């Protein structure tokens, strides 16, 4: 389902420069992906908020349809946030593994000298 243009564009106008400024001049491809994903997640949250406002004012079948859209978007949002959390956790564990490996390698070199 496409996002409402107003919510997504407004968020992107404000979030993308802020993300870029916080990341500094050189942003890696991974950082760019995560920043874009954060913007998309904000846009989805804004869309859910817009739909909730519309649903509050709607009646009958229109309200039911909006509530179904809210439920579907919320499920997509939760799934995406869960995947992002898994990715971040994997990155943290990978960094710890690399640090452990580097410490072991440095220890071996130190003992050899």
Q: Three-class SS string for 36-69?
A: HHHHHHHHHHHHHHHHHHHHHHCCHHHHHHHHHH
76 belongs to a structural domain: yes
- The number of beta carbons lying within 10 Å of the beta carbon of residue 95 is 10
Where residue 24 falls (left for φ over 0; alpha for ψ -120 to 50; beta otherwise) is left
Rounded CA-CA distance 70/68 in Å is: 5
What's the rounded mean pLDDT across residues 8-28?
A: 50
108 belongs to a structural domain: no
- Domain of residue 57, residue span: 5-80
**Contact of 11 with 35, CB cutoff 8 Å:** no
74 belongs to a structural domain: yes
29 belongs to a structural domain: yes
pTM above 0.75, yes or no: no
85 belongs to a structural domain: no
What's the rounded mean pLDDT across residues 67-75?
A: 91
- Count of domains observed in the chain: 1
Q: Indicate if the pLDDT at residue 26 is higher than 80.
A: no
């Amino acid at each position: 389902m496409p996002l409402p243009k107003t919510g997504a564009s407004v968020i992107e106008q404000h979030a993308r420069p802020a993300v870029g400024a916080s990341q500094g001049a050189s942003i890696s491809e991974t950082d760019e992906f995560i920043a874009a994903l954060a913007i998309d997640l904000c846009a989805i949250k804004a869309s859910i908020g817009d739909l909730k406002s519309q649903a509050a004012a709607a009646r009958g079948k229109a309200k039911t349809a909006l509530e179904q859209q809210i439920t579907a978007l919320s499920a997509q949002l939760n799934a995406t946030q869960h995947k992002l959390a898994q990715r971040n956790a994997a990155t943290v564990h990978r960094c710890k593994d690399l640090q452990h490996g580097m410490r072991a390698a440095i220890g071996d070199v130190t003992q050899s000298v």
